[in-house]
Amino acid sequence: MNSDKIKTGAKGAPVRSLFYAMGYTKEEIDRPIIGVVNAKNELIPGHMMLDRVAAAAKRGVIIGGGTPVEFPAIGICDGIAMGHVGMKFPLASRELICDSIEAMARGHQLDGLVLIPNCDKIVPGMLMAAARLNIPAVVVSGGPMRPGYLNGRTLDFNSVMESVGSFQNGDITAEDLEDVAENCCPGCGSCSGLFTANSMNSLTEVLGMGLPFNGTALADTGERIRLAKHAGMQVMEMLRRDIKPRDILTREAFENAITVDMAMAGSTNTVLHLPAIAHEAGIDLELDIFDEISERTPNLCKLSPSGKHHMDQLGMAGGIPALMNELTKLDLIHKDCITVTGKTIGENIEHHPVLDNEIIRPVSDPYRNRGGLAILRGNLAPDGAVVKESAVAPEMLEHRGPAVIFDSEEEAVAAIWGKKIKKGDVIVIRYEGPKGGPGMREMLSPTSSIAGMGLDKDVALITDGRFSGASRGASIGHVSPEAMAGGLIGLLKDGDMIHINIPERSLEVELSDEEIEKRRAAYVKPEPKEKTGYLSRYAKLVTSANTGAVLSAD
């Protein structure tokens, strides 16, 4: 055991003395020391109740014969950070979470980990740490919240974001807006649609790093607490059997995750996080693999924001195991991948049929014959761009329109609210990429405002930033190279004609090579937006969105 290096024999006496000071007994010190990483805080609804999950996980570790030691991880609420300078920090915090867990685990020579996240960047940050450390680890998330209801209408967090646009458009009153705000998030948990948090929590179980139903067991249920206890017990079994994260996080496991992502039309942010986790596991997960898998994977689910269903309904339909089981009918799942259960994916899912074919459609009757996400390329995005194709109105799958240029999200939102955007326009928001933002802000405010004003079938938006998992419409993000790295998006001018063809996977600006070179010669790179502090350091090290926005080792 790692901890034996620091706690046994005469040289371990000082360490034992410090454990004795905290009240640990000799019997507890002699057992494997398991870190329980609790991202609980009072700023994120999905994390507010993680103490309950951590307490259950610690009991599971004790049942399994280990000694749990709890320590915290930070977490930023994307919803609270949305639409202002705070949104520069969530993606950048992913690296802080990973680094801090590494520091704690290696600094104290822990034998294993139970990782307890729930929301957007905390989940991939913890998975990255597990892959980097490669000691037995199980992820158990906090679980999704239930959807809200108002006057017979089902609501979620995206409902209030889009209602802001409706209010700005004069379609609803301030009282109507407040009614939605009070009812759309009825209790704690990760927001109830298939946004980034629930996409990543579901893919955690697909990767094999979480127990079955990690993605769908609701936050306020006994099922979630039982899951946490089993996670604590299972990390001890992994330790006994010497099963480590890199045994689980194989190329085939990531292909499974992408396949399920496409089948359920998950958040575009998964295209950032899966390559970053793979990078820590020593696997190069190229961007084109997302499109290759999308081409052969049917879209079987339409959860909010792509459709009307929510995570509670997905759970009642059989959850992720049932969805994966359905996909095996087309031989799309690698069933022999090992998981934290000690069993293979195939063994985990074989007794879990689909229980509701309206929520999880059969492979013989999919919503679409190809997956929910698409990778676009062209002169405007030679290294790729990402769109949630399943959430785009049919009439916007191909669109040609004049560019309306903004150098920040705030400028774009002001123009949208000021009704300066016309039908047919292509909004371009640049200098919001990993380096340019820095931090690659989510653009839920502009996309939800466009949808709330009823323009999502008439207006496209492209950015070198990214979108919330709650975004819908012709919203194309992750444009690479970004403007700050010399991408063509930084050379665009108002009125340039942009041609988007999602079925053909194309994103082009109609400019001659001569005009592009003329503009490039006259281009003056702007000053960095952040010149001090963590974001300044982050901007110097972060790589492109098409590589997962990981930090360079150079």
With a cut of 90, say whether residue 165 has pLDDT above it: no
How far apart CA 97 and CA 105 sit, in angstroms, is: 12
Chain segment 351-402, per-residue pLDDT in tens? 999 999 999 999 999 999 999 899 999 999 999 999 989 889 899 999 999 9
User: What per-residue confidence (pLDDT) applies to 244?
Assistant: 98
Buried-state track 222-238, b at ≥16 Cβ within 10 A, e below 16: eebbebbbbbbbbbbbb
Q: How far apart are the first and last CA of the chain?
A: 33
Evaluate if residue 92 carries a pLDDT over 80: yes
Mean pLDDT of 438-444: 90
Closest CA to 239 of 31, 551, 481: 31
Give start and end residues of each alpha helix (H) in 245-374: 245-248, 251-264, 270-280, 288-296, 311-316, 319-327, 345-349
Query: What's the mean per-residue pLDDT of the chain?
Result: 95
Instruction: Say which residues have a Cβ less than 8 Å from residue 228's Cβ, sequence separation at least 6.
Output: 53, 54, 56, 57, 60, 116, 140
Q: Mind listing the pLDDT tens digit for each residue in 130-149?
A: 999 999 999 999 999 999 99
More confident call, 416 vs 206: 206
Catalytic residues: 468
> Is 273 buried (19+), middle (13-18) or exposed (0-12) by CB count in 10 A?
buried
Q: Which residues pair with 499 in a beta bridge?
A: 400, 508
Q: Is the dihedral of CA 413, 415, 419, 422 positive or negative?
A: negative
Rounded to whole angstroms, the Cα distance separating 26 from 23 reads 10
Residue 527, by phi and psi: left (phi above 0), alpha (psi -120 to 50) or beta?
beta
**pLDDT at residue number 553:** 77
- Decide if 102 contacts 73 (C-beta within 8 A): no
How far from chain centre, in Å, is Cα 325? 23
- The two three-digit tokens of residue 321, written as one number: 């195991």
pLDDT of residue 161: 87
pLDDT of residue 91: 95
Return the structure tokens found at 234.
């299972």
507 pLDDT band, cuts 50/70/90, is very high
Cα 411 to Cα 84, 427, 432, 468, 543, distances in angstroms: 11, 11, 12, 18, 25
Mean pLDDT confidence for 20-41: 98
Share of the chain above pLDDT 70, in %: 99
pLDDT tens-digit series, residues 215-255: 999 999 999 999 999 999 999 999 999 999 999 999 999 99
Q: At a CB cut-off of 8 Å and minimum separation 6, what does 30 contact?
A: none
Mean pLDDT calculated for residue range 85-106: 96
Q: What pLDDT does 470 receive?
A: 67
Kindly report whether the global pTM for this prediction surpasses the value 0.75.
Answer: yes
Q: Which pLDDT belongs to residue 455?
A: 82
Q: Looking at residue 554, what is its pLDDT?
A: 67
Q: Are 112 and 36 in contact (CB under 8 A)?
A: no
| Residues 245, 246, 251: CA angle, nearest 5 degrees | 120
